[in-house]
């Protein structure tokens, strides 16, 4: 049997902070526990936000932290054909439709009270599915009802824990409505490329933050539609700052580079993030 495969998949749209360090160290710990290989994947599909100098900074931070990966790094921007092929397969199944709704049009068309997805955002009201879309398609959406009917079975995946426990979890992709799978300016999406890449790279165990737990249900649906294997998933806690807010690039959380400049060492960071990590 081939060894387990794990991956850390940062997006180079900002600097790495302690939350990323925690995530990569969880991946490292689980790869070690399972005797698996750890891959690095750069999720840079968004050309407006991802920059090569941020990727270089991420690689530098990871080297400094002392995490070792398999030598080959996959950069999503170099594999758009793989995502296009997956999109075409879904289209050939009749599961996609073009959408010309702007954010404000979606807001205006939402029911009162609006239905919201597990992340609290508006669920698309289906305007372009129900009526002919306008001339300028901004996005390609998955027809969720059709996709679920095509699967024709309840969807589930296996969640694994650091203590070795595994439990079966029911996936509820319907809570997300007709999700966007590609945009005019980016012919793919996070959901589509993550599913395609995890399969292409043979990822068997995904360790990611709790903030992606609910979205995993969409991934399980796409895997079923595309005939791809579903990895096991683990969701780790999110590191919070002193005000108990989730650390995010958008807020002013200290970057690893700032901590390094202030004299912190990789051992201090590892200790700070948990005794298992030293
Ligand atoms: N690229 C995603 C992020 O930086 C994580 C991908 C994943 O774990 O699926 O949040």
Question: Would 204 be classed as within a structural domain?
Answer: no
Question: Would 172 be classed as within a structural domain?
Answer: yes
Residue 56: both structure tokens together: 């270089």
The per-residue pLDDT for 242 is 57
- Residue with CA nearest ligand 1 atom 8: 208
- pLDDT over threshold 70, residue 9: yes
Question: Would 223 be classed as within a structural domain?
Answer: yes
- 72-115 residue pLDDT tens: 999 999 999 999 999 999 999 999 999 999 999 999 999 889 99
The pLDDT of 4-23, averaged and rounded, is: 96
Question: Would 202 be classed as within a structural domain?
Answer: no
Residues 223, 124 within the same domain? yes
- pLDDT over threshold 60, residue 210: yes
Which CATH number is 174's domain given? 3.40.50
Residues 275, 253 within the same domain? yes
Entry pTM: 0.94
Decide if 6 contacts 38 (C-beta within 8 A): yes
Residues 103, 221 within the same domain? yes
Please choose from 6, 11, 239 the residue to mutate so as to test ligand 1's pocket, defined by most ligand atoms within 8 A of CB. 11
Decide if 39 contacts 201 (C-beta within 8 A): yes
Which CATH number is 19's domain given? 3.40.50.620
Residues 106, 221 within the same domain? yes
The per-residue pLDDT for 277 is 45
Dist. CA 156 → ligand 1 center (Å)? 21
Q: List, in order, residues 6 or more apart from 249 with CB less than 8 Å away.
A: 13, 14, 15, 17
Classify strands 156-160 and 166-170 as parallel, antiparallel or unpaired.
Answer: antiparallel
- pLDDT over threshold 50, residue 151: yes
Atom of ligand 1 nearest to the CA of 194: 9
Q: Which domain holds residue 72?
A: 1-78+240-278
Ligand 1 pocket (Cβ < 6 Å) reads 9-11, 43, 194, 208, 212
Question: Would 103 be classed as within a structural domain?
Answer: yes
For the chain, helix (H) and strand (E) counts, in that order, are 10, 10
Question: Would 203 be classed as within a structural domain?
Answer: no
Residues 91, 224 within the same domain? yes
Residues 186, 245 within the same domain? no
Residues 141, 129 within the same domain? yes
Residues 33, 100 within the same domain? no
- pLDDT over threshold 70, residue 241: no
- pLDDT over threshold 70, residue 145: yes
Phi and psi dihedrals of 209, rounded to 5? -70, 155
Residues 92, 176 within the same domain? yes
The pLDDT of 221-243, averaged and rounded, is: 90
The per-residue pLDDT for 278 is 40
Q: Which helix (H) or strand (E) holds 250?
A: none
CA distance 187 to 233: 26
Residues 4, 36 within the same domain? yes
Dist. CA 41 → ligand 1 center (Å)? 9
Nearest to 82 by CA among 201, 178, 180: 201
Residues 173, 97 within the same domain? yes
Dist. CA 8 → ligand 1 center (Å)? 8
Domains of the chain: total = 2
Residues 25, 123 within the same domain? no
């Amino acid at each position: 049997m081939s060894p387990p495969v794990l991956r850390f998949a940062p997006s180079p749209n900002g600097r790495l902070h302690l939350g990323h360090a925690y995530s990569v160290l969880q991946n490292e710990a689980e790869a070690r526990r399972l005797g698996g290989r750890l891959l690095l994947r750069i999720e840079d599909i968004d050309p407006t936000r991802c920059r090569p100098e941020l990727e270089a900074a991420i690689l530098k931070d990871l080297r400094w932290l002392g995490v070792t990966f398999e030598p080959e790094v996959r950069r999503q921007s170099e594999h758009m054909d793989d995502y296009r092929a997956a999109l075409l397969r879904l289209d050939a199944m009749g599961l996609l439709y073009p959408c010309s709704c702007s954010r404000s049009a979606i807001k205006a068309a939402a029911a009162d009270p609006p239905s919201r997805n597990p992340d609290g955002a508006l669920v698309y009201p289906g305007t372009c599915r129900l009526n002919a879309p306008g001339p300028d398609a901004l996005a390609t959406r998955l027809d969720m009802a059709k996709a679920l009917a095509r699967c024709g079975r309840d969807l589930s995946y296996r969640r694994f824990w650091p203590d070795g426990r595994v439990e079966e979890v029911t996936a509820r992709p319907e809570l997300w409505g007709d999700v966007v799978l590609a945009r005019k300016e980016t012919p793919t999406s996070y959901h589509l490329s993550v599913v395609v890449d995890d399969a292409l790279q043979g990822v068997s165990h995904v360790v990611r933050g709790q903030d992606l737990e609910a979205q995993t249900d969409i991934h399980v649906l796409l895997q079923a539609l595309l005939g791809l294997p579903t990895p096991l998933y683990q969701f780790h806690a999110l590191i919070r700052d002193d005000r108990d807010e989730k650390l995010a690039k958008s807020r002013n959380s200290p970057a690893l580079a700032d901590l390094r400049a202030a004299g912190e060492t990789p051992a201090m960071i590892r200790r700070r993030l948990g005794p298992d990590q030293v």
